Structure 1
């Protein structure tokens, strides 16, 4: 069961990576960046479940914070550049 979830996450990351490379706009790439970090967080949660280790969850918290900050900064950068004439 868990291995099927890992395979699904790898497939989703591959599809997202293709979209990241082919994305016609910067907004598409920012959305895919957020998706890839969510996939990374889900993978860390699955690893915590498999290893039955609560300490891995601290990694999940740090990844979540970094994902939020990173996506916010990229969206701010995109909006700042869009307003320039």
Structure 2
């Protein structure tokens, strides 16, 4: 891990983690950027489809990235109550995905029978 930080050439800021403010991106900024790009790509998949299942998976992915973003913001801002928000969103997303899977299973059984 330290070799990766040394190879980054200071792009990620303080490699030693000693609390010294160095110019450049922090690891939190880089992670937020990656999550942001991933969310944009998930929105593209949500809009393009082509099937309903693809759109639901993209929506699930957006919720997953939202949970990660809220958790990252909780770490950066040191606000523990945001972790509760992330857990609630994750649970609601899981229940929605399970409900959609049940819907697809019943729809498949109706078409077969």
TM-score (norm 1): 0.89
Stretches of structure 2 lacking an aligned partner (at least 5 in a row): 1-26
Contact 1:26 1:78 survives alignment (8 Å)? no
Given the alignment of the two structures, is residue 20 of structure 1 paired with residue 46 of structure 2, yes or no?
yes
Give secondary structure in 1 for the equivalent of 2:80: coil
Stretches of structure 1 lacking an aligned partner (at least 5 in a row): none
Deviation of the 1:79 alpha carbon: 2.5
Structure possessing the higher relative contact order (Cα contacts under 8 Å, 6 or more residues apart): 1
The structure with the largest helix share of the pair is 1
What is the number of equivalent residue pairs in this alignment? 85
- Which aligned pairs between 1:4-83 and structure 2 lie closer than 5 A? 4-83=30-109
RMSD (Å) for aligned C-alpha atoms: 1.2
Contact 1:41 1:63 survives alignment (8 Å)? yes
Whole-angstrom CA distance in 2 between matches of 1:31 and 1:50: 28
User: What do residues 50-79 of structure 1 show as CA deviations (whole Å, max 9, x unaligned)?
Assistant: 111111111111011101001111222222
Give secondary structure in 2 for the equivalent of 1:32: helix
TM-score (norm 2): 0.69
Whole-angstrom CA distance in 2 between matches of 1:32 and 1:8: 17
